[in-house]
A = this chain, B = another copy of it.
Amino acid sequence: MFEFGEDKPKEECGVFGIYAPTQEVARLTYYGLYALQHRGQESAGIAVSDGRSIDVHKGMGLVSEVFSDRVVDCLKGKMAIGHVRYSPTGSGLLTNAQPLVVHYQKGMMALAHNGSLTNALELREELGKNGAVFQTTIDSEVIINLITRYRQESLEDALVKTMLDLRGAYALVILAEDKLIGLRDPHGVRPLCIGRMGDGYCLASESCVLDTTGAEFVRDVEPGEIVVIDEDGLHSHQGFSEIERTSCAFEYIHIARPDSTIDQLSVSESRRRMGIELAREYPVDADLVIAVPDSGTASALGYASELGLPFGDGVIKNCYVHRTFIQPTQEMREMDVRLKLNANASVLKNKRVVMIDDSIVQGTTSSKLVEMVRKAGAKEVHFLISSPPVAYPCFFGIDTVKREKLIANQMGIEEIREFVGADSLHYISEGGLLRALGTDCVCLACFNGAYPIPVLT
């Protein structure tokens, strides 16, 4: 499940939208963002619209830090969108917080974006030649400039034209005129689903949000689909003929909450099946299966059950690690992992242990973890990973590290095993992962470099 740590890929964003004239849309958006907090802890924002005018409040920090009761009460309207963000590149400025709100020829518009465009620079340049000025460095500003420029036409036509210009991954929620709009790129890389609540509708990056806000799951937005919600209900427009669905595999492996279902596949169930596949590929004669919490837990349970091994809480997570804290000094550097995770000696003592994690990015955290588990008394530590080696950067909205820093790019499996200090190391195979997911329609680019959308590398 949604892990925090320097050695994990980080999702950039979560989005939420709601159209519900009879309900407190800002407050419901607040709770929606609260349930999406794991997708971004850096900034949060909510924009509300009464169909004409749009109010917005944004700030740096957690949803609970950015919004007070008073602020939420001031945001009145019949529809709203919200956004949480993790900024990968240190560009963590309030200016870049979303939703982005603009005034243009036809009124106001607000937009929030999850994903990443691969032709943003080209589009900026072209727009710049036509006189556009930019006040941020975010893709949303490019997208909103395109939509408003095409807006001589109907809103739907403008959206279709915009989609023809965009290259990359995007799940968008938009407030325009008296409509709430959701759309997803033609490959459906980033998730977006639809819920019904009373006489209204909502849109969310993950289905767990619907449970939290009391909405009923309707369906996922389809790749390339434009969903328009207004007083006449929900309308679908195929903005783009679907090329080929390639949902992000990493959502299942690491990012999404286990209680979410994305494109008809339960995250929790898919992780359990990754554990089963690992057990089939690499059964270890061990006394105990443990997980690196939280995202390794479901896989570890699957592995343990498949082999009939006991599962134990061998690694304990500090519940408060999501908060930034004072970094250890150089002399205390070895302490950083210990502040987040601790080996539970009473469980590990004298055991041959299988430890399951969802991924290895740079390898430093893994090596400290293996050492910690060993020090706590484990006789053997077999390290199993529920994803193939991450060897390529993501250009579609997940921040990994630079390619040079990816350990799978620098070392072979045996070298990595030695580096992390495990008795054995096994990554799930691509085939095993696909079997666990039950589909080929996923993006595995970070494992095999086969980017479904052209990127500049």
Please report A residues at the B interface, Cβ cutoff 8 Å.
1-2, 24, 27, 30-31, 34-35, 37-38, 62-65, 67-69, 72, 94, 100-105, 109, 124-125, 128-135, 137, 144-145, 148-149, 208, 211-214, 257-259, 261, 266, 268-269, 272, 294, 297-298, 301, 305, 310-313, 316, 318-320, 322-329, 332, 334-335, 338-339, 342-347
Bound complex: CA of A324 vs CA of B67, how far in Å?
11
CB–CB B316/A34 < 8 A: no
This chain's copy number in the assembly: 4
Bound complex: CA of A311 vs CA of B24, how far in Å?
38
CB–CB A149/B131 < 8 A: yes
Q: Known A130-B131, A212-B342, A268-B347; judge A316-B257 contact (CB<8 A).
A: yes
CB–CB A269/B346 < 8 A: yes
CB–CB A129/B103 < 8 A: no
Please name all residues of chain B whose beta carbon is closer than 8 Å to the beta carbon of A322 when the two chains form the complex.
Answer: 319-320
Bound complex: CA of A258 vs CA of B298, how far in Å?
19
Q: Is the interface of A mostly helix, strand, loop or mixed?
A: mixed
Q: Can you give 7 contacting A-B residue pairs, CB < 8 Å?
A: A35-B342, A64-B326, A103-B124, A105-B128, A109-B133, A211-B342, A214-B335
Q: Which residue of B lies closest to A152 (CB)?
A: B129
Q: Which of B68, B310, B326 contacts A30 (CB 8 A)?
A: B326
Please name all residues of chain B whose beta carbon is closer than 8 Å to the beta carbon of A38 when the two chains form the complex.
Answer: 319-320
Bound complex: CA of A128 vs CA of B31, how far in Å?
36
CB–CB B69/A326 < 8 A: yes
Q: Which of B297, B311, B338 contacts A212 (CB 8 A)?
A: B338
Bound complex: CA of A391 vs CA of B176, how far in Å?
42
The 8 nearest A-B residue pairs measured at CB:
A266-B346, A105-B128, A102-B133, A259-B316, A64-B323, A103-B134, A131-B149, A259-B344
